[in-house]
Structure 1
């Protein structure tokens, strides 16, 4: 499913115009991104949790030589129990 597919689905199920559905989906995604950039967790009960993890610096063997990868933040998603059960069915 693409973002455009999601927008069309929201428009149809919520009886919204495509433009209104696009604004709703964009706002939802932007607010998740804004919270993660701030370092906050986003908990969607029954669906899962988005959070940011801090990765430590490490050394890797790349392109025939050893290179150091700097520490960095990376987004992480942990599915909730309801989502896990739905997928297992």
Structure 2
């Protein structure tokens, strides 16, 4: 499912127009991204949690030359699925 299909699904499940559904989805995504970028965790009970996580510096290899390179430490977004989401995907929901 892509973003356009998600907007259609939201509109079909609610009394919102496609335009309003698109604005709502954009607002949710933007709010999650801004919060995580500021170091806040975002938890949606039953769905999952978004947070920023530090990835340590590590040694890598240049794929063209094979030379060893140092990949610097960086901050990356992480998502952990909630128990309800995991159970539904596994077909264990009731």
Q: Same fold (TM over 0.5)?
A: yes
Distance 1:18 1:58 in 2: 45
The corresponding residue for 1:31 is 31
The corresponding residue for 1:78 is 80
What root-mean-square deviation, in Å, do the aligned CA atoms of Structure 1 and Structure 2 show?
0.8
The corresponding residue for 2:2 is 2
Distance 1:56 1:85 in 2: 32
TM-score by length of 1: 0.96
SS of 1:36's partner is: helix
TM-score by length of 2: 0.91
Larger helix fraction of residues: 1
Distance 1:20 1:47 in 2: 22
Higher mean C-alpha displacement, 10-19 vs 33-42: 10-19
Runs in 1 of length 4+ with deviation above 2 angstroms? none
Aligned residues: 89
Stretches of structure 1 that go unaligned for 5 or more consecutive residues are none
Q: What per-residue deviation string (whole Å, max 9, x for no partner) do you get for residues 44-89 of structure 1?
A: 0011111111011111122210011111011111111111111111
